[in-house]
Amino acid sequence: MSEEQKAAQAHRQRLIRVFVSSTFRDMQEEREELVKHVFPQLRKLCEERGVTFVDVDLRWGVTNEQVAEGQVLPICLAEIENCRPFFIGLLGERYGWVPQHIPQELIKQHKWLEEHLEKSVTELEIIYGVLDNLEMANRACFYFRDPKYIESVPDDRKADFTAESAEGAEKLQELKERIRQSGLAVRENYPDPKTLGEWVLKDLTVAINQVYPPGPPPEPLDRDAAEHEAFAESRARVYIPRQKYFDLLDKHVQGDDPPLVVLGESGVGKSALLANWALRHRASHPDDFLLMHFIGASSYSADWAAMLRRIMGEFNRRFEMGQEIPDDPDELRMAFANSLHMASARGRVILILDGLNQLEDRDQAPDLVWLPAQIPPNVRLILSTLPGRALENLEKRGWPMFSVDRLGMDERRELIDEYLGQYRKALGRDAGGRERAERIASTEQSANPLYLRALLEELRVFGVHEQLDERIDYYLEARTIPDLYERILERYEEDYEGKRRGLVREAMALLWASRRGLLESELLEMLGGGGDPLPRAQWSPLHLAADQSLVTRCGLIGFFHDYLREAVQHKYLPTEEDQHKAHIQLADQHVQDSV
């Protein structure tokens, strides 16, 4: 996904992530002021408008191991991408730490680094975040501290506030001048951290007002629509088109047959197929009314009543029907049937309901008592589900079905090349590389796209090429997707815990125990110690690594699919007592937060 697409998706999800860039030792008071006084005010302002505010500060908690292993810069660059276009740069008189070694893999991924090998991490952040992306700079602000501030610093700390060397001082002045000449928003000579806080609060309030103007929070209908659109777009990445299924869906929406049911094992790509087909159809038929509802894509998408209210609300908005939407479950079911007929009388509707098996088990929702037996012909309904109560009901109705097959050998080869290619990687260009690709593609479990993607992601981040064959064998020993994810969790423990032992277990257990997910700030509070949240520098590497398996819905972090949930339960919460403790920890934290 491009930087512009990420920024657009964050806007639709009503999410603001602000990256804070500065040197470390001389900016501790400034960061304290921002974190403890300014950002809480901005977070409250955003909450009043239905927006999630996240500040990303990676200077706290950086371990010596992360520095030695060259992890700091890759983490910073990845987080900058996630925060675009919001960026705060703080500069005093120090130039900052210059890494002695930048991993070659990172240089291959970011060619621009070749021209900046002798520059500090702070300057590299500024170059990547803003100076080389000026079109994204409309939300970037820079603040230069008054050089006279050094006069107020105790003598035993003055060394932390002065230039590291004459060369560092010269590089810093050149950087400041480039920022001044760029036309970016710059405030100079703030006299103390408190004044800086006032300036940042004022500037970010203006930016927030521009993006999310004052007024009531967005209608739930708009927020839900944004969540489902973002989900669909996330499924459009590295997708291998399967024309025969596109043709079946095209034929269905052009005809008047009963609703069409899409089947296939979990992870085989039903959601990806429907999302890609829907986006393609909408682009070629802009006048069609196409409504996608991916059960599990947003916080309340698995609630059958909330789903029906959303669909009816969209019908009312599109066709100006003015139908009342009742709260009583029985009345709601009757009203939904009427709504389908009313919409059908006003135009052609394409309605996609993906993942019926994920509906919450309330009011017999998995038995589809809410879904009328007769669907008007002008409503082209497409459903997907796994085996279970929903499928049993659909089979009784006799509606037409087709199954999405597992990937064929050619499709597996193509996915291997395409997935690794987006990172400019390959299993090897020689005969050995082709043999590795064939070995992966020929295994039964790699026919499942989710398994194959997860495996390729692990190989992508594995840095010891000489041990690649051994690593491939290790992962291919996992015969099921949950087994594979248990091995991935073990790798997370090795790579991302450092001195914070138990981080992966605790974080995953808390996410497992949460019903709809957790705010990132909540999770960091519970993972912290001594009254302080977990430093983001210790959380970000794990969060970024698990990006493909975690999802943020309405600001809440949760599992993207049940395979990871199953793996977490089996590995970390195998007994009822373990599960009970996780629920109690979560409940205790919520009680503390409410006091």
Determine the pLDDT at residue 592: 57
Determine the pLDDT at residue 73: 85
Same domain, 229 and 248: yes
Domain boundary among 357, 378, 403: 403
Give yes or no for a contact between 102 and 117, defined as CB atoms under 8 angstroms apart. yes
Same domain, 232 and 306: yes
> Which tens digit of pLDDT belongs to each residue from 288-324?
999 999 998 776 788 999 999 999 999 999 999 999 9
In this structure, what CATH number is given to the domain that contains residue 41? 3.40.50
> Which tens digit of pLDDT belongs to each residue from 184-207?
889 999 999 999 999 999 999 999
Query: Residue 512: pLDDT above 60?
Result: yes
- Please provide the DSSP assignment of 507-573 as one string: HHHHHHH-SS-EEHHHHHHHH-BTTBPPPHHHHHHHHHHTTTTEEEETTEEEESSHHHHHHHHHHH-
Same domain, 470 and 499: no
Same domain, 345 and 383: yes
Domain boundary among 174, 193, 211: 211
Give yes or no for a contact between 468 and 459, defined as CB atoms under 8 angstroms apart. yes
Q: Which amino acid belongs to residue 418?
A: E
What gap in Å lies between CA 83 and CA 54, rounded to an integer?
Answer: 9
> Which tens digit of pLDDT belongs to each residue from 228-276?
888 888 787 778 888 999 999 999 999 999 999 999 999 999 999 999 9
Length of the chain: 595
Say whether pTM exceeds 0.95.
no
Same domain, 121 and 204: yes
Query: Residue 69: pLDDT above 70?
Result: no
Domain boundary among 418, 448, 479: 479
In this structure, what CATH number is given to the domain that contains residue 275? 3.40.50.300
Which region among 16-30, 130-144, 301-315 has the lowest average model confidence (pLDDT)? 130-144
Task: Over range 538-552, report the average pLDDT.
Answer: 83
Domain count, the chain: 4
Same domain, 142 and 282: no
Same domain, 371 and 291: yes
Query: Residue 1: pLDDT above 50?
Result: no
Task: Over range 555-580, report the average pLDDT.
Answer: 90
- Please provide the DSSP assignment of 261-278 as one string: EEE--TTSSHHHHHHHHH
* pLDDT classification of 10: cutoffs 50, 70, 90: low
Same domain, 579 and 431: no
Query: Residue 13: pLDDT above 90?
Result: no
Same domain, 396 and 444: no
Give yes or no for a contact between 543 and 503, defined as CB atoms under 8 angstroms apart. no
Task: Over range 523-529, report the average pLDDT.
Answer: 89
Determine the pLDDT at residue 590: 58
10 Å CB burial of residue 42 (0-12, 13-18, 19+) is buried
Name 55's bridge partners.
18
**Higher per-residue confidence, 226 vs 63:** 226
Same domain, 195 and 58: yes
- Displacement of CA 544 from its chain's centroid (Å): 9
Same domain, 173 and 106: yes
Same domain, 449 and 491: no
Domain membership of residue 32 as a residue range: 3-211
> Which tens digit of pLDDT belongs to each residue from 139-150?
899 999 999 999
